Amino acid sequence: MQKSTLLITGAGTGIGLETLKLAHKNGHPVIAAIHHKEEASALPRGVAWMAGDLTQPSFRKKLIATYAKKVDTLVLNAGHGESGPLIEQPEARIRKVFEVNVMASILLAQGFGQVMAKRRSGRLVFVTSMAGFITLPNLGAYSGTKHALEAMADALRMELAPFGVSVASVEPGLIYTGFNERMAASKFGWLTSKSLFAAHIKTWAKRDRALPSRSYPVNKAARTLFKVATQKSPKAHNPTPALYGPLGFVFHHLPTSLQDRFFRNGGM
């Protein structure tokens, strides 16, 4: 039986790369969409790849034209992280995180999804985040992008079901890939001593250094993403590690005042 062909965005590093390796090891034809051509050196030998900026229409158009008819499952994994107090976050940084995480993903999903709908088969998998369910201080913009993706994935799932196209989301929590660490550090690129939050900067930096010790191995998320991308009937929402699902449910059923008290000092 022929195995499904996967195209994974953001496949040069982190969860995307580990998922691609797992799919390749299990005999699935895989295609990597990477940001920089230098990332191709980390890919398994013989894997097809294309490098470029997903926020650029020309690159998305090239990916769609080259691979849409060949791909069974599109894994929308590429993402960008920004942290810091939203009230002061520079406009350019907010726009970038929305352009990468939301607009690039949805527009690529449209291109591939329309081809899938016409042939009456296919799957779109959005890699969102537990930040798409739980919003932390200092992660307002990033969480906003992930909330948006969750909503759009839900809409697409219902819209495309009559055409035989399935849509699912994978929601990683703290996974040790370097992504969360880079996102946590991003605020220090623009926060200054004039910030409303200047008194907290040293405390935030100390807490951020503990992120690796609080994170789960990347293979946990990769196994979940591979399963959702290839199994016959995946769940619509797939927190990873799985324990984040019940935790998210519990927190959402706490009074808002308790949620705020718990998370007020827990943002990046």
Per-domain residue ranges of the chain: 6-263
Contacts for 95 with CB less than 8 Å, ≥ 6 apart: none
Kindly give the confidence (pLDDT) of every residue in the chain, 268 residues in length, as a single tens digit, with 9 standing for 90 and above.
689 999 999 999 999 999 999 999 999 999 999 999 999 999 999 999 999 999 999 999 999 999 999 999 999 999 999 999 999 999 999 999 999 999 999 999 999 999 999 999 999 999 999 888 888 889 999 999 999 999 999 999 999 999 999 999 999 988 878 888 888 889 999 999 999 999 988 888 888 887 766 777 899 899 999 999 999 999 999 998 766 666 666 666 678 777 677 667 554 4
Q: What is the pTM of this model?
A: 0.91
Which residue of the set 21, 67, 146, 220 is catalytic?
146
Can you tell me which residue has the tokens 């599109």?
74
3-class SS of residue 168: strand
| b/e sequence 122-144, b meaning 16+ C-beta within 10 Å | bbbbbbbbbbbbbbbbbbbbbbb
Which residue of the set 142, 176, 220, 244 is catalytic?
142
Supply the pLDDT for residue 73: 98
Supply the pLDDT for residue 49: 98
Task: Respond yes or no: is residue 216 known to be catalytic.
Answer: no
Structure tokens at 91: 């406009």
- Helical H segments across the chain, by residue range: 14-25, 57-67, 91-98, 105-119, 140-160, 179-186, 201-208, 218-230, 244-252, 256-263
Can you tell me which residue has the tokens 């969360």?
180
Task: Respond yes or no: is residue 21 known to be catalytic.
Answer: no
Can you tell me which residue has the tokens 């907290």?
200
Q: Assign domain 6-263 one CATH number from 1.10.3720.10, 3.40.50.2000, 3.90.1150.10, 3.40.50.720.
A: 3.40.50.720
Inter-residue contact 16 to 77 (CB < 8 Å) = yes
Supply the pLDDT for residue 201: 87
CA 142 to CA 131: how far, in whole Å?
8
Can you tell me which residue has the tokens 């398994």?
44
Supply the pLDDT for residue 169: 97
Supply the pLDDT for residue 131: 83
